[in-house]
Amino acid sequence: MTKIEYQPLNDRAYQEILTGLTNGIFAPMQPLVIRTLAESYGISATPIREALQRLVAERLLVVLPNRSIVVPQMTREKFAQLLPVRVALEGMATELAVPRLIPEDIARLRGILDRIAGTAKTFDARAYLQLNREFHFRIYEKSGNEELLHVIQGLWLKVGPVFTGLFDSDHFRRHANDEHVHIVDALERRDAAAARACMERDLTLAAEALMPRLQARAAP
């Protein structure tokens, strides 16, 4: 007996819009119109509205004074502010995960590493982003701290759309996996401090590759 599962429409609308955001479907400052979205998803306005409200609460969308709901522009400043928060929390999660990772987890991480290396050769940006996310969260999940994990997830949602451009940088693509390898090595040695340091460096290097691509300030 396979449990059939029901998912409310607002949840699904949320997911749809979210992946749209992550894939950069919606241009910043272009308003998301409730009725339009409702029609294009073939559902009524109510669940769409709820999904948008939720995204606003998570700060993935913002409400203009006109009440229009738009994608906020990720500026260099905002990204720079997000970075130390992510470094602190993802570093913490990594450290916490060290004593809880079993050899099987390490093996799985090495598997991801191999696949990431593959994407650098095939220039498959989408696969890279997917695997990069999987790599990080396989570690964070092992922190055993659900509250911490939830906050980190929220932060990744915010920076998600920006990451899309990560693979465009030649230099980054070639070195994308370097820190990842160091992280897994440290994890395997059960060296929590080193694992944390490598994770922090990974985040910082990615941020440095991305920052120049971002606009200095929000458009007026």
Partner DNA sequence: GTCTGCTATTTGATATATCATATATAATAC
Partner DNA sequence: GTATTATATATGATATATCAAATAGCAGAC
Residues that bind DNA (CB under 7 A): 6, 8-10, 31-36, 43-47, 49, 63, 66-69
- The residues, any chain, with a CB within 8 Å of residue 147's CB and separated by 6 or more, are none
Per the structure block, which two tokens stand in for 158?
Answer: 């915010």
Question: What is residue 75's three-state secondary structure?
Answer: strand
**36 is in the binding site of which of DNA, a second copy, none (Cβ under 5 to 8 A by kind)?**
DNA
x/- map, 25-54, a second copy, by CB under 8 A: ---------------------x--xx--xx
Q: How far is the CB of 60 from DNA (least distance, A)?
A: 16
Q: Which of residues 141-160 bind a second copy (CB under 8 A)?
A: 145-148, 150-151, 154-155, 158
Compare residues 47 and 136 and give the one whose CB is closer to a second copy: 47
Compare residues 45 and 107 and give the one whose CB is closer to DNA: 45
Compare residues 129 and 159 and give the one whose CB is closer to a second copy: 159
Q: How far is the CB of 54 from a second copy (least distance, A)?
A: 5
Q: How far is the CB of 59 from DNA (least distance, A)?
A: 16
Provide the binding-site residues for a second copy, judged by CB under 8 A: 10, 46, 49-50, 53-54, 57-59, 78, 81-82, 84-85, 88-89, 92, 145-148, 150-151, 154-155, 158
